[in-house]
Amino acid sequence: MLGNMQEGQLLISGLIEHAETYHKDTEIVSRSVEGPIHRYTLKDAANRSRKLANALGKLDLQQGDVVGTLAWNTFRHFELYFGVSGIGCVVNTVNPRLFPEQLIYIINHAQNKYLFVDLTFVELVESISDSLESVKGIIILTDKDHMPETKLKNVICYEELIADESNEYDWPVFDENTASSLCYTSGTTGNPKGVLYSHRSTLLHTWIVSSGNVGKISSSSVILPVVPMFHVNAWGIPYASAMFGAKLILPGPLMDGASIYELIDLEKPDLLMGVPTVWLGLLQYLNETNQTLDSVSTALVGGSAAPRAMIQEFEEKHNVFLMHGWGMTEMSPLGTATSRTAEMDNMDIESRYDLQEKQGKAFFGVEMTIADDDGNELPKDGVAFGRLLVKGPTIVERYFKSNESSLDKNGWFDTGDVAKIHPEGSMEIVDRSKDVIKSGGEWISSIDLENAAVGHPAVAEACVIGVLHEKWDERPLLLVVKVEGKDLSKEEILAFLEDKVAKWWLPNDVIFVSELPHTATGKLLKTNLRDEYKEHLINTGK
Ligand code: AMP
């Protein structure tokens, strides 16, 4: 027997309508690309999203057409999230940090009809424009006074595009499974793969990220998402702001420690969101300038593993709970978090850090298990580790334009991560399956070694890769970037690691480098390093 309830569609346009009705005075503060701080309200955002919707209609966009953005976190990008998806088109947030060939691939593969581009990226688009196959015009996200000289064809100024449009618009109602936005994974090998979200998956994910176990987002929240709107929809925060009337502080193009702190000092956020490298920059700035984070109660960190030293510094110097989250583009992105519990508050601090170092428990709607290479499920005993498999309504079924499902015969999606699941439910990432070091048939976690190494005060960043070894097939090699002005020898760092990891995990060699390569989303890029140092232990006999 079916229930007797209504079948309203979960649509992104509904979010901005709700925001306007119930949270109209909530502020969206942006550091604009032009420089000054810009402020307006959710009511203004709703008005301008409808103007944009009218303008998009005149650009002859049909439902299902894809529109690209190359843009920072600002109010104009925020409007695009609602205006484009609201009319039934798809917003493809392109990560401008990718290599030009990858940008060309994505824009052509997604068949972007128009590109909405921040001033910062005009030159970048000029350099690839001859290779773009489907783009009919470029809209520059600025006003008339700031329009640049450009050799691009069919260029439109965003503020002029929407200026004379009516702010009346009836958002169309369609199936909630309609595509709403498109993000590409920044894979380290092969072409990027598209993940096509739906209105339904986006709204379900918005409830997850806002829930009591994650962001606790409400109309009294003040959130600073440093995580970019071009990377998995800034973890869904723009939508959550509209759903709950939370104030947003959008950092625009400046994400260094000093600029982020300036916004924190000015707007007093209680919740921060970003990847570990951003927090490293902020903590370094706070140390240099002797300042603290007084308004902030929680910082959500994810995208890469958060080192214990970072969790500790946030807690002990700033009284900020570092909530460790894990997810991926294919999961909208959030899958787990180390939510703060009453139990945590009553345990000794080191045991609490042990929990915070793990990636946390899955949310309702995300099922997860671990399996061996043959797909046999492994025990969730905190000891066994294997491929991390997930399922749920906010998780990809197949990649964009693929004819094949990405799920196994039991409906699981293989995350490509290797993990343990502890008896109480916490998940702990051991490594990416391709980064784990296979030494004589046993596995060594590169992440655990890296996290232990960055606990040394003279280590700014550490990277561990598996390289060829005559006897053990593969052994760990540690690459270290030293903190400026500090001295550190091989022997010192190895001695420091000795009581932190199993003896047979200790790296066979340590190499000091001036910098480490990163992917477009800030993760260590290990493929080239593995090639470069492949023979290092063989050649040196270590
Ligand atoms: P992306 O799709 O770019 O968001 O990357 C997703 C991948 O980042 C995951 O599959 C993990 O390998 C890694 N990742 C994300 N969060 C964490 C975390 N908290 N700890 C360790 N790895 C993480």
State the CATH number of the domain containing residue 417. Answer: 2.30.38.10
Cβ of residue 328 lying under 6 Å from some atom of ligand 1: yes
Contact 74, 252 (CB under 8 A): yes
Give kind and range of the element (H or E) at residue 447: helix 446-453
User: Is residue 17 located within the same domain as residue 158?
Assistant: yes
185 CA: nearest ligand 1 atom: 2
DSSP helix/strand/coil, 59: coil
| CA 367 to ligand 1 center in whole angstroms | 17
User: Is residue 107 located within the same domain as residue 49?
Assistant: yes
| CA 407 to ligand 1 center in whole angstroms | 19
User: Is residue 449 located within the same domain as residue 408?
Assistant: no
| Nearest protein CA to atom 10 of ligand 1, as residue | 328
| 412, 443, 472, 505: the active-site residue | 443
DSSP 104-125: HHHHHHTTEEEEEE-GGGHHHH
Q: Which of 412, 432, 452 is the last residue of a domain?
A: 432
Q: Which of 197, 213, 230 is the last residue of a domain?
A: 197
Cβ of residue 14 lying under 6 Å from some atom of ligand 1: no
Determine if residue 515 is left, alpha or beta; phi over 0 gives left, psi from -120 to 50 gives alpha, anything else beta: beta
Cβ of residue 445 lying under 6 Å from some atom of ligand 1: no
**pLDDT tens digit at each of 542 positions of the chain:** 999 999 999 999 999 999 999 999 999 999 999 999 999 999 999 999 999 999 999 999 999 999 999 999 999 999 999 999 999 999 999 999 998 999 999 999 999 999 999 999 999 999 999 999 999 999 999 999 999 999 999 999 999 999 999 999 999 999 999 999 999 997 666 789 999 999 999 999 999 999 999 999 999 999 999 999 999 999 999 999 999 999 999 999 999 999 999 999 999 999 999 999 899 999 999 999 999 999 999 999 999 999 999 999 999 999 999 999 999 999 999 999 999 999 999 999 999 999 999 999 999 999 999 999 889 999 999 999 999 999 999 999 999 999 999 999 999 999 999 999 999 999 999 999 889 999 988 889 999 999 999 999 999 999 999 999 999 999 999 999 999 899 999 999 999 999 998 899 999 999 999 999 988 888 888 988 999 999 999 999 99
Q: What pLDDT score was predicted for residue 188?
A: 62
| Catalytic residue check, 361 | no
Cβ of residue 305 lying under 6 Å from some atom of ligand 1: yes
| CA 84 to ligand 1 center in whole angstroms | 28
Q: Which of 144, 169, 197 is the last residue of a domain?
A: 197
Q: What pLDDT score was predicted for residue 441?
A: 81
Q: Is the dihedral of CA 395, 326, 66, 48 positive or negative?
A: positive
Residue 91 in any domain: the answer is yes
* Spatial distance between the Cα atoms of 437 and 446, rounded to a whole number of angstroms: 7
Cβ of residue 387 lying under 6 Å from some atom of ligand 1: no
| 17, 165, 267, 330: the active-site residue | 330
Q: Alpha carbon of 163 to those of 56, 146, 463: distances in Å?
A: 13, 15, 50
User: Is residue 394 located within the same domain as residue 508?
Assistant: no
User: Is residue 446 located within the same domain as residue 389?
Assistant: no
Q: Which of 214, 235, 339, 523 to mutate to test the pocket of ligand 1 (most atoms within 8 A of CB)?
A: 523
| CA 333 to ligand 1 center in whole angstroms | 9
Residue 212 in any domain: the answer is no
pTM tops 0.85, yes or no: yes
Residue 358 in any domain: the answer is no
| CA 415 to ligand 1 center in whole angstroms | 9
| 93, 178, 185, 521: the active-site residue | 185
Q: What pLDDT score was predicted for residue 523?
A: 86
Number of domain units in the chain: 3
User: Is residue 417 located within the same domain as residue 486?
Assistant: no
User: Is residue 70 located within the same domain as residue 116?
Assistant: yes
447 CA: nearest ligand 1 atom: 21
Q: What is the extent of the structural domain holding 137?
A: 12-27+38-197
Q: What pLDDT score was predicted for residue 458?
A: 95
Residue 371 in any domain: the answer is yes
Cβ of residue 359 lying under 6 Å from some atom of ligand 1: yes
User: Is residue 426 located within the same domain as residue 442?
Assistant: no
Q: What pLDDT score was predicted for residue 187?
A: 64
Give kind and range of the element (H or E) at residue 30: strand 27-31
Q: What pLDDT score was predicted for residue 190?
A: 77
| Catalytic residue check, 330 | yes
User: Is residue 463 located within the same domain as residue 421?
Assistant: no
User: Is residue 151 located within the same domain as residue 22?
Assistant: yes
